Amino acid sequence: MIRTVEAVIDEEGNVRLLESVHLPAARRALVMILEEHPVAGVSESALLSEAALAEDWNQPEEEKAWSHLQQVL
């Protein structure tokens, strides 16, 4: 199971989790370093995932599947 946990990394690279984590055994982890202040109120995770998701979203099959939700003017 993949789980996201917020953390703080100090200037020396020490990682401190902001919540307690209990695991049955050691696990691998990925660390994504974010800017200190969000860009213009837009979620960084939304910005980071936009390009990858656009590949799926901008397919003709997706347009057809969601066309019933588009408002007719």
pLDDT in tens, 39-51: 566 677 777 788 7
With residue 53 as reference, give the H or E element that holds it. helix 44-57
Low-confidence ranges of the chain (pLDDT < 70): 37-42, 72-73
Which pLDDT score is estimated for 28? Answer: 92
Which pLDDT score is estimated for 39? Answer: 59
Which pLDDT score is estimated for 38? Answer: 60
Contact assessment for residue 42 and residue 35, using Cβ atoms and an 8 Å cutoff: no
Which pLDDT score is estimated for 11? Answer: 93
Burial class (CB in 10 A: 0-12, 13-18, 19+), 7: middle
CA-based nearest residue to 44, from 36, 53, 52: 36
